Every structure is written in structure tokens, then in C-alpha cells.
Structure 1
Amino acid sequence: MKYNQLGKSALQVSEISFGCMSLGNDHAANARLLHRALDAGITLFDTADLYEKGENETTVGKAFQGRRQQVLLATKVGNQWRTDGRGWDWNPSKPYILQAVEHSLRRLQTDYIDLYQLHGGTLEDPIDETIEAFERLQEQGKIRAYGISSIRPNVIREYVSRSRIASVMMQYSLLDRRPEESCLPLLQEHQISVLARGSYAQGVLVDKPAQPYLNYSVEEVQQAATAVKHVAGNGQKIVDTVVDFVLQQPVVASAVLGIRTDEQLAAAIQAAARLPLSPAEVAALRRAVPPSRYELHR
């Protein structure tokens, strides 16, 4: 497993990370899966207080009792569940963040979070107030680094210029190259890492039938999947190919892969030992479909 520095922080993250959102309700089964990932060298585990109303954080926290020093725990804040439990509201305020972190710490059964991320963001937010909350938590030792999870270029630019974020989590894949236009170069310039999610494009690049994806038609999605198969052959190398396409970008510190089953974990672990794509192979993939671009929040 390769490890990369996360931005300017002291965190060294595994280039394959475990996206915990899809974990089920069986704490023992989850612990076995998470321990297998850690034993294979995966060290970054990403969750959020939004997932399963906090139960996802709880199952991750239970799993790593006794092994806390070996893992990097990343979670997210900003979506406040309503009292009736029938939805949530966006709340990036300083008081809420300072309150919510205490609940996440308790569920994760830890006294610090390695990476605390704002789970969204708009230009209408009290951005300086939000940053103040993260800075205070870092000063208090309750978080080691902070970042945002966003695909909005205009929001990303604000945090790049006004904060000390270590990372931006964003969707990036062969079928979502929108970050290449403006976000990736900007973050590279400022030594802010990308945590890439959605590398499989909801599975259509790997093992699911073609269907419309973002602004791509079924035919274009099929073209991309065919290009992947042409470069990779079949089987595990398809996963290797779509993951390596993302990690070819030097600003991408880790590909965060959603994992729920033993088979998905095995594929993720194998991808860490992949052979890198050649420049010709990368070029062939990029020719398969035209790059998309952000239309909103530019």
C-alpha cells in the first residue's frame, strides 16, 4: 500500500481508503470487514454524522476500539437531523459544529478526529464562522486536520483562499472529469489534497449495465466502459484501471471506495497492488468520452 501526505497536514493516508457509508447494522460483521481492511494496509476510514443518523460512526468506533492509534478516522458535519427524524437541515454555523463534534467523538469512541470535513457548503454560508469553528477544534486537539466535501468550484475557491483546509473530497472518475477544468489545478497549486469518491461511477464503469450518468447518454457510458475493458481486459483489472485513472492525478491523495462486502474489499485491496497505467492507456481512456464541465456554482 502506498501512503500520501494529506495536503500540508501531518496525516499520511493510504491511497485506497474505506468509504464506510454502505456498512450494514451488524457491528460484528462490520468489525471483521474493517479489521481486514486495516490489516491489508488501508488506514483512512471515512464516515459522516449524517449516515444512519450517526449509527455509521458508532459501528466504526466500536470496530476500532483497541486499534485507534493505527487508523485515521474521517467524518463530516453540517447536516443537522430534525427532531422528528424526518430529514435534515443544512447548518454550518460555529455553535452547531462545536456541538456536533462532541456527539461524533462520543460515537466514534475517541478523543480526537483525524480529519473533520464540512459536508457540503454554499456561498451563502457564514464561511468565516465555519472556519473559526474548525480552527478552534484544531487548537483544542479535538481534530488533527480539516477539509470540505464539495463539488462546487465557487465554494472550493473560497475555502482555498480563506482557510487552512488539508483536503477536498469530491467526485472524480473517467465519467466525471469536471474537477479537471478548474478544481484540480487550483488545489495542486495550493498543496491541498483531493479525496476522490465515485471512482466507479455508480458501478457503470465496473460491473453494472450502462445507464445515463450525469450528462452522458447510455451510448457514451457504454463507450467509456468499453474503453476500460479494452485497456484492462476483464475481471479485477477493470477495478484496477478505473482506480488508477483517478490516482494518476498527483493532487489525488486517496481514492475513497465504498465497501460493503468481502468481494468489494478484496477488489479494493488488489487495486492497491495494481500496475500503473501507461501514458498511452491513460490517453486512450481520456479519448473515450469528451470531458464534462460544471454548469452550476462556477
Structure 2
Amino acid sequence: MKTRKLAEMEVSALGLGCMGMSEFYGPSDDAESLRTLARAADEGVTLFDTADTYGCGHNEELLGRFLRGRHGTVRIATKFGLVRTPGSYARRIDNSPAYIRAACEASLRRLGVETIDLYYAHRLDPAAPLEQTIGTLARLVEQGKVRAIGLCEVAPATLRRAAAIHPIAAVQSEYSLWTRDPEGGVLQACRDLGTAFCAYSPLGRGFLTGSVDTASLAPGDFRSFNPRFTGPHARANAGLADAVRALAVTKGCTPAQLALAWLLARGAHVLPIPGTRRPDRLLENLGALAVRLDAADLAAIDAAFPPGIASGERYSPEGMKGLNA
């Protein structure tokens, strides 16, 4: 397994996003998810990403079951700040010190660990002073409850302000061939600060693999109301999956492997965290580590996927809360 740096930790170059094991992508099976988690660890994956809001605690509990007997061999990243009612997509952002402390204790309990390796603010509340939020997280580090601090979906200036208060180990934002927003400044800010960049939804929520039928998404699949997967946007984006497939053919790899290899080539500080519930998809994704892209390959990919090529917003209005904070 190839590795990359995340603060003082060395982690696998590809992590595993665990959200879909609990909700948002239709029905899931805990037994299969646990098999996938175990296979990932066996293959050398050491960075596992979750959040307290995924399944309203279920995802952390699932990771807690997986972690029994594996303490110290893997790194767990989790998040706080998005508050939801079970079964509802609606959310509010809470960065209050009392909430952060309570959320941290709850995550520690569900995960069954004494220290969270990487604790992200899932979204920042513009009404909450940044100094207060980062200061509260810094105290959790001092208390040994958190090893490193991260931020999600922040603007470059916000990252630089936060880093002046306490080192920020990682920024997590959506980044893929059809979502190149981080190239607007936050990738460079991460590079300047020595901050890792964890790319979520690196396969465009499955769209870029060509395996998603937007007309027959399962009940409970949030893509059924995601703008890029519906109506005229879905039709406009259909050619993007074809373009990835065509490029992948030239490299003798799958579309997923090409999309992940492109991200890995964006910089040594970029850590994609593709999500899957299936061992076969996991192994396919890990195959991206063997794909080599030269300058001509990267130029061809950039020409096919210029920034802004995707039709539609990344989320519904509810999901857009707190982006680019």
C-alpha cells in the first residue's frame, strides 16, 4: 500500500469513505459492510472516514464493531456539526462549544476509542466565531480526546485564519473530475500550510463510473433529488461518464480507476476517500494505485473535464448549507 502524510500520521494513499454503509445510497447490509471494512484493512487501507450524522450515529457504531481488536492499526476520521433528525435530510449547523464537547464524547463512545485520530468540523456556522470553534477543538487535543483537527468545505481564507490559531491537519471537500472547485484556491492553501486534502465523492457519487442508472435509483437514495442526477441536468451530464470510459480504455483501466488516479496525481497532499459497501468495488478502487498518468494523459483528461463542466449544483439547497464557509 502506498502511503501519504496526514499531520504526523502516515496513512494509506486511498482511504475508505463509510457514509453509504449507513444511509443516503439506498438499503445497506451491516454484514457486507463489515466484510468490506475488514478486507480494506487487510489490503492496507488505514484511513476510514465517518461522521456522527451518517445514519445518525449508526455509522460510527458500525466502525466501532469493526475496530474491536484493531486499535492502533487504522486511523479514524469523524465529524461533528451537522445536526439532523433521524430519517430527515434537513439539517442545521451547530459549532457551539457545548455541542462540540458533547458530540466528541458521543463519538468516542460509539467508536469505542479513547482518542479520535482526526476530528473535522463537518460544516462551519458563519454565526459562530472561528476562534471559539478552533479553540474548543484545540482543548480537546490538549485533553487527549482528539489527535488532529480538520475542517470541511472551507474557503482558503478561512483555512488560513484557522491555521493561525491551531494547526489544521486536513481539509475535506468534494473533489472529482466533475467537481473541481478546490482548484479555486483551497488546494494551494493546503499545500502552503502542510495540510492534507481529503477528497470525498471522488467518483462523482458513482456517476463517473458509468454504473449509475439515474432513472431507477433505489428508495432512500439521496441522488434521486440531487440536481446533477435529475431532469435536464442528468441528461446533460450523461456524456461525462462516456468520456471517462473512453479515456480509461486508453489506459487499460476502469473508469473508477482513472478518476482516482487523476486525483492521486493532483499532488502528494491529496487523499481520495472513495466510498463503497462492496469488497469487489473496494478492490477495483485500490487498483487505481497502479495506474500511471503521464503529462499527455493529464492534458487529455483536463481537456475533457474543464472546471465547471458538470450541469447542476452539487447538492439541493438544503445540502448547500455551509459550503465554502
Same fold (TM over 0.5): yes
Structure 1 residues 119 and 110: alpha-carbon distance in aligned structure 2, compared to 1, 3 A threshold: same
- The aligned amino acid for 2:275 is G
- Give the conservation status (yes or no) of the 8 Å contact 2:95–2:125: no
Structure 1 residues 136 and 65: alpha-carbon distance in aligned structure 2, compared to 1, 3 A threshold: same
2:92 partner SS: strand
Q: CA deviation at 1:89?
A: 2.8
CA distance in 2, matches of 1:284, 1:209: 24
Establish whether residue 156 from structure 1 lines up as the match of residue 159 from structure 2.
Answer: yes
- Give the conservation status (yes or no) of the 8 Å contact 1:13–1:253: no
For 1:291, the equivalent position in structure 2 comes to: 307
For 1:124, the equivalent position in structure 2 comes to: 127
- Give the conservation status (yes or no) of the 8 Å contact 1:236–1:267: no
- Give the conservation status (yes or no) of the 8 Å contact 1:194–1:254: yes
CA distance in 2, matches of 1:266, 1:74: 21
Please point out which of 285, 291, 296 is paired with 1:280: 296
- Give the conservation status (yes or no) of the 8 Å contact 1:116–1:147: yes
Q: CA deviation at 1:184?
A: 1.0
For 1:17, the equivalent position in structure 2 comes to: 15
CA distance in 2, matches of 1:109, 1:202: 29
- Give the conservation status (yes or no) of the 8 Å contact 1:224–1:285: no
- Give the conservation status (yes or no) of the 8 Å contact 1:168–1:192: yes
Establish whether residue 271 from structure 1 lines up as the match of residue 269 from structure 2.
Answer: no
**Larger deviation, residues 95-104 vs 27-36:** 27-36
- Where does structure 2 lack aligned partners over 5 or more consecutive residues? 23-27, 215-226, 314-322
Please point out which of 46, 49, 53 is paired with 2:49: 46
2:21 partner SS: coil
CA distance in 2, matches of 1:219, 1:107: 41
Please point out which of 21, 29, 34 is paired with 2:32: 29
- Where does structure 1 lack aligned partners over 5 or more consecutive residues? none
Establish whether residue 138 from structure 1 lines up as the match of residue 180 from structure 2.
Answer: no
1:69 partner SS: coil
CA distance in 2, matches of 1:126, 1:78: 14
CA distance in 2, matches of 1:114, 1:60: 13
Equivalent residues, number? 293
Please point out which of 30, 55, 59 is paired with 1:56: 59
- Give the conservation status (yes or no) of the 8 Å contact 1:199–1:257: yes
Pairwise CA RMSD: 2.8
Counterpart mapping for 1:106-255 below 5 A = 106-208=109-211, 213=228, 221-233=237-249, 236-255=253-272
- Give the conservation status (yes or no) of the 8 Å contact 1:159–1:165: yes
Deviations 1:133-180, CA, capped at 9 Å, x for gaps = 111111111111110111544543432444311100011111111111
Structure 1 residues 224 and 279: alpha-carbon distance in aligned structure 2, compared to 1, 3 A threshold: farther
**Larger deviation, residues 103-112 vs 229-238:** 229-238
Q: CA deviation at 1:264?
A: 1.7
Structure 1 residues 201 and 125: alpha-carbon distance in aligned structure 2, compared to 1, 3 A threshold: same
- Give the conservation status (yes or no) of the 8 Å contact 1:194–1:251: no
For 1:2, the equivalent position in structure 2 comes to: 2
CA distance in 2, matches of 1:279, 1:227: 18
CA distance in 2, matches of 1:207, 1:193: 29
1:110 partner SS: coil
- Give the conservation status (yes or no) of the 8 Å contact 1:131–1:163: yes
- Give TM-score scaled by structure 2 length: 0.81
- Give TM-score scaled by structure 1 length: 0.88
Q: CA deviation at 1:275?
A: 2.0
For 2:320, the equivalent position in structure 1 comes to: none
- The aligned amino acid for 2:287 is Q
CA distance in 2, matches of 1:173, 1:78: 24
1:254 partner SS: strand
Deviations 1:75-100, CA, capped at 9 Å, x for gaps = 00112346x88654311111211111
